[in-house]
Amino acid sequence: MGSRRDFLKAAATGALALGAQSKLGLAASVDNLAGKSKVVVARDAALHGSGARLDARRAADLLDRAITAYTGRNHPVEAWKQIVPKGKVIGLKVNGVGSRGVSTHLELVLALCERLQQAGVRAGDILVWDRSNEALESAGFTINTDPSRVRCYGNDTAGFEEQPTIQGSVKVNLTKILTRECDMVINMPILKDHDLVGCTFSLKNMYGAIERPAELHANNCDPALADLCSIPVVRQKVRFTVGDAISSVYEKGPVFHPEYLWHPNALIVGADAVAVDHMAAQMLARKRAEVGLPPVEAVGRPARYLATAADLAHKLGVNDPRRINLVEV
């Protein structure tokens, strides 16, 4: 396949050829340990070096370190074989709302595409997607619908289901990318402050899977966010998070404000999206305290959706730190 640099160039231009054709073993559950949800936080303080430019090779190495720590496998390819099912379409749900300033990093996504192909996923069975082609392009991605290559496009290309789905308080039209095209989705959110819910990460990234997300923002998105993620097709297909906490904004999010840019230089990885979001919210809270900003709860935008997502009615995961097996590498 050539060097990593060649891979990144080919994928970014839509010229990436098919990857390995081998069949994968069945995906295994590696999330639960002694009744706890496992979350890995992997860090590399040198990801940005002394400047603002992300080191693509170090980002790929950080991804490898995170997934091997999560699965307990020594080699990242074997680790991904334990996560992804064989012969299926794997969607990568990124977030391009913050454009180049603070969106899911292209370098991280390309590194994951490479590893998935090495693990046996066909290039054409990898679909990078977000709410719109414009959002993807603004974050540096290249739109590509060629089924023989890694695909990348938004909901505006695929369309939405005509019949709405009702779950609890929400009535939404889901993207056909989720309902018809992907068998499994790896969630790739970007960590950001949010002007309504305090912290946006894994669960909130699913607002990019519906036609009119603005309708679900009342009452700090509670219980709408938990209800949305409880829709069976969302619950069943969105099964793993590779959370991008490489760059973030700790105030005035979710749009990009360069004066509040911060580089946590981390990935937050796990199968329990609630536990992942809890750790992300804690990371953001520590940064706000460090710079002298009040907690989000004190300014009227608590991440109350986390408790709702974890409650007995939703059971989307755990937000109790005593039930989270945190591994830091």
pLDDT digits (tens, 9 = 90+) for 119-142: 999 999 999 999 999 999 999 999
Asked if 269 and 70 count as a contact pair (C-beta separation under 8 A), the reply is yes
Per-residue DSSP letter, 266: E
The b-or-e profile of 117-138 (16+ CB within 10 A means b, else e) is: bbbbbbbbbbbbbbbbbebbbb
Measuring CA to CA, how many Å separate 280 from each of 20, 41, 250, 273? 34, 9, 12, 10
Question: Closest by alpha carbon to 12, among 141, 130, 147, 146?
Answer: 141
Measuring CA to CA, how many Å separate 68 from each of 40, 54, 76, 83? 10, 22, 6, 11
Residue 17, pLDDT score: 29
Least confident piece of the model among 32-46, 154-168, 230-244: 32-46
* Residue 219 clears pLDDT 70, i.e. is over it: yes
Least confident piece of the model among 47-56, 59-68, 113-122, 171-180: 47-56
Tell me the percentage of the chain whose pLDDT exceeds 70. 88
Name the residue with tokens 């949305």: 228
Split at pLDDT 50, 70, 90, the class of 49 is low
Helix (H, G, I), strand (E, B) or coil at 176: helix
Task: At 243, give phi and psi (nearest 5°).
Answer: -85, 130
Helix (H, G, I), strand (E, B) or coil at 93: strand
Split at pLDDT 50, 70, 90, the class of 97 is confident
102, with CB counted inside 10 A (0-12, 13-18, 19+), is buried
Question: Closest by alpha carbon to 108, among 181, 189, 27, 50?
Answer: 189
Residue 192, pLDDT score: 94
- Set out the domains of the chain in order of their start, with CATH numbers: 4-21+29-328 (3.40.50.11440)
What is the per-residue pLDDT across 158-199, written as a single tens digit (0 to 9) for each?
999 999 999 999 999 999 999 999 999 999 999 999 988 989
Split at pLDDT 50, 70, 90, the class of 33 is low
Stretch 303-310: mean pLDDT: 95
